[in-house]
Amino acid sequence: MLRLHFYAGVFVAPFILIAAVTGALYAMSPTLESITDRGLLHTDSTGPVKPLSEQVAAGTMAEPNLSLVAVAPAQNAGDTTRIIFGDPTLGASERRAVFIDPVTAKPLGDSVVYGSSGALPTRTWIDTLHKDLHLGDFGRYYSEIAASWLWLIALAGLVLWFRRVRARREKRSAGWLLRPDRSRPRARTLNWHAVVGVWILPVLLLLSATGMTWSKYAGENVTKLRQELSWTTPAVTAKLPGSTGPAKPAGGEHDGHGTSAPSAAPAANKAALVDTVYAVARANGLEGPLEISVPAKDGTAFVAKELRRPGVLTLDSIAVNGSTGVVTDTLRYSDWPLAAKLTNWGIQFHMGMMFGLLNQLLLLAIMIGLLTVVVRGYLMWWRRRPTKEAGMVALGRAPRRGALRQTPITVLVPFLAVAAVVGWFAPMIGIPLLGFLLLDVLSGLVSRRRATA
């Protein structure tokens, strides 16, 4: 454990350090977005709200060449309504939104919005920075390495610190795991490195798990595992009873558009039905922020679903026949499988949206704590360096070798089997782990040659 913690700390910690810095910024991105894009998100107008269909009409007039795909009504006084269009010039999961003052039904501007949370460019830029450093698929290796190793480094550190505390006879209480030992000034760096790590450990494990679900390789395996175990997020069906042909389910957790742009029926006819769908959704208990998907074809229902927004914990959704106002399918968040609920809560927490500003401040504090842990780890490594040898500054020494050879076979075989399974499931653990092993073997060979020289 000590040797694994050492190698991972030296070579993986730079990725974790970058993830912590960008993650601290990402944690505050919803608040930053509300400041930088206040002119689009909020309005000072007061008075009665115009019918939603009138707001939709104003939005479609502002973008007559784009196809209406969804409407996100203003939730609270001072909020704006989003009229959302499909734009073929945009990338995957990107749409164009016209922001409408619900009191005056006048457009306040337009912007590209991204994903199921409707992130605007400021938050999207920060999101991409945290995810891949704006380097595309190549940059995603950094975040996957950080997420994949974070939990392993943290748990190894916990084991080492627990054994260190228990080994001191005068301080057998496990409470010493949670507070530094001030009686030993020389060990101050180690004490704070370990204790802060223990403080932030639960949140680090959650961030690591949710980060891996978004990663490229481990994320694909997580998706396959969830499908095999029927842990995927359920969705309402948009197909109307009696209609022919398949209808794509709507209301899932992914960042796709959900429905394609309407082409057969004029957008004006679809927009006129939004009032009915909105009223039905509210009457059926969908009280949170909504997005109403506008069907592209006949025989397809409108789908109203609650959105991920700060402080919103439930995501109910219903399908409504816009012509009759009849609810054709309903999915309550209470009916989601437990695994799907936990996944959704973890994602919302990771995005800083589960408890609003409090969630964001907590993540910011955790990221600052993680930064101090990483810096102290490198400081300890630097202090372990020997004096100058042959005119060169040597690096800190690794812990002693030979632990695996001394491990009982009954422990070693299961340990290696688990390592192989974990390394296959999360390649960004497996590949670096093989690299550490090769580096360790080469280091041993060099040390033997020096000893016999």
pLDDT band, residue 388 (cuts 50/70/90): low
User: Dihedrals φ, ψ of 239, to 5°?
Assistant: -75, 130
* pLDDT at position 157: 93
Tens digits of per-residue pLDDT, 273-321?
999 999 999 999 999 899 999 998 888 999 999 988 777 788 999 999 9
Q: For residues 66-76, give the mean pLDDT.
A: 95
* pLDDT at position 184: 72
pLDDT band, residue 328 (cuts 50/70/90): very high
Q: Is the pLDDT of residue 192 over 80?
A: yes
Q: Is the pLDDT of residue 171 over 90?
A: no
* pLDDT at position 349: 92
Q: For residues 110-116, give the mean pLDDT.
A: 93
Q: What kind and span of H or E run contains 101? A: strand 94-101
Token pair for 307: 């959105």
DSSP per-residue string spanning 267-318: HHHHHHTHHHHHHHHHHTT--S-EEEEPPSSTTB-EEEEE---TT-----EE
Other C-beta atoms closer than 10 Å to the C-beta of 127 total 19
Average pLDDT of the chain, as a whole number: 87
CB–CB of 204/129 below 8 Å?
A: no
Other C-beta atoms closer than 10 Å to the C-beta of 346 total 17
* pLDDT at position 41: 96
DSSP per-residue string spanning 69-92: EEEE---STTB-EEEEEE-TTS-T
pLDDT band, residue 187 (cuts 50/70/90): confident
Q: For residues 22-41, give the mean pLDDT.
A: 94
Instruction: In whole angstroms, give the CA distance from residue 346 to residue 333.
Output: 15
Q: For residues 343-368, give the mean pLDDT.
A: 91
pLDDT band, residue 39 (cuts 50/70/90): very high
Instruction: In whole angstroms, give the CA distance from residue 396 to residue 13.
Output: 15
Q: For residues 353-373, give the mean pLDDT.
A: 93
Cα dihedral sign, 436-441-446-451: positive
pLDDT band, residue 439 (cuts 50/70/90): confident
Q: Is the pLDDT of residue 261 over 50?
A: no
* pLDDT at position 264: 37
pLDDT band, residue 265 (cuts 50/70/90): very low
Instruction: In whole angstroms, give the CA distance from residue 2 to residue 157.
Output: 8
Tens digits of per-residue pLDDT, 132-151?
999 999 999 999 999 999 99
Q: What percent of the chain has pLDDT over 70?
A: 89
CB–CB of 19/174 below 8 Å?
A: no
CB crowding 415-449: b at 16 or more within 10 Å, else e:
eeeebeeebebbbbbbebbeebeeebeeeeeeeee
* pLDDT at position 453: 67
* pLDDT at position 259: 40
Identify the weakest region by mean pLDDT among 100-114, 167-181, 437-451: 167-181
Q: For residues 219-236, give the mean pLDDT.
A: 88
Q: In what order do the strands lie in the sheet with 317-320?
A: 106-114, 94-101, 81-86, 67-72, 290-293, 302-306, 317-320, 327-331
> Is residue 227 packed enough to be buried (19+ CB in 10 Å), middle (13-18) or exposed (0-12)?
exposed
Tens digits of per-residue pLDDT, 10-19?
899 999 999 9
Instruction: In whole angstroms, give the CA distance from residue 26 to residue 140.
Output: 16
* pLDDT at position 266: 60
Distances (CA, A) of 178 to 2, 166, 189, 368: 20, 13, 15, 18
Instruction: In whole angstroms, give the CA distance from residue 352 to residue 356.
Output: 7
Q: Which of 235, 233, 250 is nearest to 300 (CA)?
A: 250
User: Dihedrals φ, ψ of 50, to 5°?
Assistant: -70, 155
Q: Is the pLDDT of residue 43 over 90?
A: yes
The pTM for the full model equals 0.84
Token pair for 233: 């997020």
* pLDDT at position 251: 42
* pLDDT at position 245: 53
Q: For residues 123-132, give the mean pLDDT.
A: 95
pLDDT band, residue 241 (cuts 50/70/90): confident
> Is residue 12 packed enough to be buried (19+ CB in 10 Å), middle (13-18) or exposed (0-12)?
buried
